[in-house]
Structure 1
Amino acid sequence: MKQLKIGVAGAGPAGLAVALFLSRAGHSVEILERFDTPAPVGSGLLMQPTGLTVLAALGLSDTIHRLGNRIDRLHGADAVSGRTVLDVRYDAGSGGRYGLAVQRAALFNTLHDAVIADGLPIRTGVMLASAEMLRERTVLKDADGAEIGDYDLVIDATGARSALVATSTAAPSVRDLTYGAFWATLDGAGAVYDRNALSQRYDKAKVMIGLLPAGRAMPEDKEQVAFFWSLKVADVEAVKTAGLDRWKSVIRGYWPDCLPFLDQIEDWDQLTLARYAHRTARPPFAGRLVFIGDSAHSTSPQLGQGANMALLDAAVLSHALATSSDIPSALSAYAAARRNHVRLFQFLSLAFTPFYQSDSRAIAWVRDRVVSTIARVPPMPGLLASIVAGTLIDPFKGTGLQECDWRPSIFQAA
């Protein structure tokens, strides 16, 4: 395919990654970002072997590993009885896989620094409202209808609240999820926690508290822990009205080891409220406007696949453009390559959600008494490990990539 002029809307992980791939493939790429200064949003996340393989293809594996923290298992216990109800270990599967917990700032900085090093242009303070197709061009416009730029192809990586996908012919229906979560990134010094696990405590399915040791944002920083508390979005104001001390006392009652983290929270502004929605753009393109990451698909965070799916989208789209004769063929190839993997993990994420975020006492009982027992019986441990790793079905179809060999990793557990 000839060199294309490509506009990438959004300077999050998906947008930065696809810009790097396409610029290095010889295309003219411009990134458009609505904030005056690009910056990460959120606390910690779990990089899976899928996302780590994409970062390795961009030459960023060493950088992200220096900032991240190796995770070997996901462990959850009943907050009242202490009984283990979730124990998923990566080593139950093959290949020496593991997760890497990172701060969102670390992932952003790693990709953003690479974009700057490659000299890619970033236009900031650009508020995009719509995309208009004119013959074989895509024209981006702001809310006043003023032209922002025109391109051979526009890649929308602006996230779940994308105005571009909402005004396109591929606009998906949106199902806002009942539960969200408070997140905070806190100092782990002096606290008791499992450094190589995502640890959670539950009270039935109505309460979920989590600790994710998330490494550091910059090499010189101290290691930190992402703390989260699940709650209904509709209850947020009532929780705030009851007061910060009341909220802390509830958490302390469930999980006393959280006290060193709670002591660091002095104001509600230190907590970020994450809201979630289930939505899918089908197909993930409209004309010469294509959607990746949360612009294309989003769901519950139960399986921790969001950033990893976005990076896979970036790799698949880039490979499709490199191996197709024209843009329509490339976009069709991208949609076909991602279809099954996206649908499967959206289904699984949505199916798992009621077991950990719902008002159902019955579902929680099934989780604690039945599912937790079945999960220990072969081949279930290996199956659960592949679900968490994002590899239940081939995630690299259409990427042109092979999964990394994890076994000689410097992050092998001691």
Structure 2
Amino acid sequence: MRGLTVGVAGGGIGGLSAALSLLAAGFDVHVYERAQALGEVGAGVQISPNASRILHRLGLAGELARTGVKPLALHQRRWDDGRTLLRTPLGEPLEARFGFPHYQAHRADVLAALAAAIPAGRIHLGRRLTGFTDHGDGVRLDFAEGGPAEVDVLVGADGIHSDVRELLFGPERPRFTGCVAYRGLIPAERLRGLGIEVTAQVFMGPGRHFVNYYVSGGRLMNFVAIVEQDSWTRESWTDHGEVADALKAFDGWHPQVHGMLNAVDETFVWALFDRPPLPRWSRGRVTLLGDACHAMLPFMAQGAAQAIEDGATLAASLAANPGDPAEALVGYERLRLPRATRMQALSSENKTRFHLHDGPEQEARDEAMAMGATDWSYDVVAWIYDHDAAGPLPDGETTG
């Protein structure tokens, strides 16, 4: 065991994957989660090769194969007639190209696999961080319940409403994007008559789009229906939505979209907020990862993957310079911040591209997709999927 003790605030996918990467590097790691039980809000998550290569190395290949789904393709389609705009092979061709698989998974399944891989006694529940003091040679953590803890490094992996970020840099001012998302899960047996392939589908149309893919070994269909809307006040994954509202929003869309929405028992509505990139993530012996420092819109399906990358790079940076943790965190930020910022920008741009109204811009988009000149063609996503967050950058790649 290396000399450093690392405290991770937050027991979501980002926090637990970071803890596993840090443990694998030989650090003494403890996770502090404010909830009384581990659990993931949301439903589906995409684990692309840049993230699965990390999770495989951490010993989770078997669990990902058991509970996840390997989609055959990413199928981007027109909203009304379902015409194919771009179909990018995933499955075996993607694995052959990038070395690791792409999985579609339920967030709770990924979280359970991560938690099961962490040794007993290292995840502490019901521990809400209320403050910290960086003494220069260590960090004292204070909690709402229970005594304080002393660590060498504190990692804020506590999500979009991060307490660690606010304590470091003050309150933020997220901006409503004008989009809300209806999301939910549908038992797959209810959809047998719709002819839905084992793909990740994106139906794109005027002012909205619809995403669906199988999770939980194919037993459930995850869907996310994004709709443009004028105003919203809350940022939450857990507000209940009305299925009738979602059906009305997608009136006239492809029969598969209507068939899925008609099979829904319960949906949640989630407002999408945008955040300007932070100029820095670290101060002294305290740093951030995942949504705490680079929350991004879901239009590149990279939120969880980038958090998993953060943890791997953080562990490698600390391992390379354990004698100077503050400088190691500067190195981590230097490697990660430009890449995450670029992903945030691309995710924001896709909101416009997905929601074009029929006309010249939409026709130009469709032509570019047919030529493979847009996202998710292999050449375009190589900078994302080839990246090894735990090792040196591949030849010719830059973090920016």
TM-score range, shorter chain: 0.7 to 0.9
How many angstroms apart in 2 are the aligned matches of 1:30 and 1:8?
6
Corresponding letter in the other structure for 1:151: V
In structure 1, distance between residues paired with 2:247 and 2:349:
30
Letter of the aligned partner of 1:119 in structure 2? A
Aligned residue number for residue 377 of structure 2: 384
Q: Given the two structures, how large is their TM-score scaled by the length of structure 1?
A: 0.82
Change (3 A) 1:385 1:36: same
d(CA) in 2 for partners of 1:96 and 1:376? 26
Q: Per the alignment, in what secondary structure is the counterpart of residue 140 of structure 2?
A: strand
- Kindly indicate whether residue 346 of structure 2 is the aligned counterpart of residue 348 of structure 1: yes
C-alpha change, 1:131 and 1:193, in structure 2 (3 Å) is farther
Specify whether residues 283 and 184 from structure 1 end up closer, same or farther in structure 2 by C-alpha distance, changes over 3 A only: same
Q: Distance in 1 between matches of 2:245 and 2:124?
A: 44
SS for the counterpart of 1:281 is coil
2:47 and 2:103 in contact (8 A); partners too: yes
- What SS is found at the alignment partner of 2:19? helix
Which piece of structure 1 moves more, 7-16 or 89-98?
Answer: 89-98
In structure 2, the residue matched to 1:200 is 202
Letter in 2 for 1:106: D
Q: Alpha-carbon deviation of 1:273?
A: 2.4
Give deviations 1:158-200, integer Å, cap 9, x for gaps.
1111011022138765334221311101111142244331112
Residue 97 of structure 1: how far off its partner (Å): 6.2
Write the letter of the residue equivalent to 1:31: V
Partners of 2:241 and 2:269 within 8 A in 1: no
Matched, 1:374 2:368: yes
Tell me the residue number matched to 2:397.
none
- The residue matched to 2:298 in structure 1 has which SS? coil
Among 304, 309, 312, the alignment partner of 2:306 is 309
Classify the secondary structure of the residue corresponding to 1:41. Answer: coil
Q: Which moved more, 1:191-200 or 1:50-59?
A: 191-200
Q: Secondary structure at the match of 2:31?
A: strand
Q: What CA RMSD, in Å, does the superposition of the two structures yield over aligned residues?
A: 3.2
Q: Is the 8 A contact 1:153 1:288 kept in 2?
A: yes
Residue type at the aligned position of 1:159? G
The residue correspondences of 1:358-369 to structure 2 (distance < 5 A) are 361=357, 365-366=359-360, 368-369=362-363
Give the letter for the 1:372 counterpart.
Answer: D
Amino acid in the other structure paired with 1:83: R
**Separation in structure 2 between the aligned mates of residue 347 and residue 247 of structure 1, nearest angstrom:** 27
SS of the aligned residue for 1:257 comes to: helix
1:407 corresponds in structure 2 to: none
Alpha-carbon distance between aligned partners in 2 of 1:86 and 1:147, rounded to the nearest angstrom: 55
State the alpha-carbon separation in 1 of the partners of residues 108 and 133 from structure 2.
33
In the alignment, which residue of structure 2 is the partner of 1:109? 112
Deviations 1:83-134 (A, max 9, x none): 333433444894476521111111111101111xx22422211222333222
Asked if 1:18 corresponds to 2:15, the answer is: no
> Equivalent residues in 2 for 1:204-243 (5 A)?
204=206, 206-216=207-217, 223-232=219-228
Residues 85, 369 of structure 2: 8 Å contact kept: no
> C-alpha displacement at 1:208, in angstroms?
1.3
Secondary structure of the corresponding residue to residue 275 of structure 2: strand
Q: 1:213 to 1:390 in 2, by over 3 A?
A: farther
Shift of 1:60: 0.7
Residue 335 (structure 1) aligned to one of 314, 333, 352: 333
Counterpart position of 1:400: 391
Tell me if structure 2 keeps the 8 A contact 1:184–1:272. Answer: no
Give 2:221's aligned amino acid.
V
Aligned residue in 1 for 2:318: 321
Aligned-partner residue type, residue 11 of structure 1 = G
Q: Which amino acid aligns with 1:396?
A: D
TM-superposed deviation, 1:148: 3.5
* Aligned pairs (5 A) from 1:170-185: 174-185=174-185
The superposition leaves residues 10-33 of structure 1 with CA deviations (integer Å, 9 ceiling, x where unpaired) of: 111111112122223332221111
What is the CA–CA distance in structure 2 between the aligned matches of 1:147 and 1:279, rounded to whole Å?
35
Counterpart position of 1:412: none
Letter in 1 for 2:64: I
Q: Who is 1:255 aligned against?
A: 254
56-65 or 242-251: bigger deviation: 242-251
Offset at residue 258 of structure 1 (A): 4.1
Structure 1 unpaired stretches of 5+: 217-221, 404-414
Corresponding position of 1:99: 102
Equivalent position SS for 2:359: helix
Return the letter of the residue paired with 1:385.
Y
The count of residues paired between Structure 1 and Structure 2 equals: 383
Q: CA deviation at 1:387?
A: 4.5
Offset of 1:319 from its aligned partner?
A: 0.6
- 1:369 aligned counterpart, secondary structure: helix
1:333-369 CA distance string (max 9 Å, x none):
2112213322222221122221224xx63xx635531
In structure 2, the residue corresponding to 1:129 is in which secondary structure? strand
2:104 counterpart SS class:
strand
* Cα distance in 1 for residues equivalent to 2:310 and 2:353: 28
Cα 1:120–1:247 change in 2 (3 A) is same
What secondary structure is seen at the aligned counterpart in 2 of 1:6? Answer: strand
Q: Is the 8 A contact 1:130 1:140 kept in 2?
A: yes
Name the amino acid aligned to 2:223.
F
In structure 2, C-alpha distance between the alignment counterparts of 1:134 and 1:375, rounded to whole Å: 53
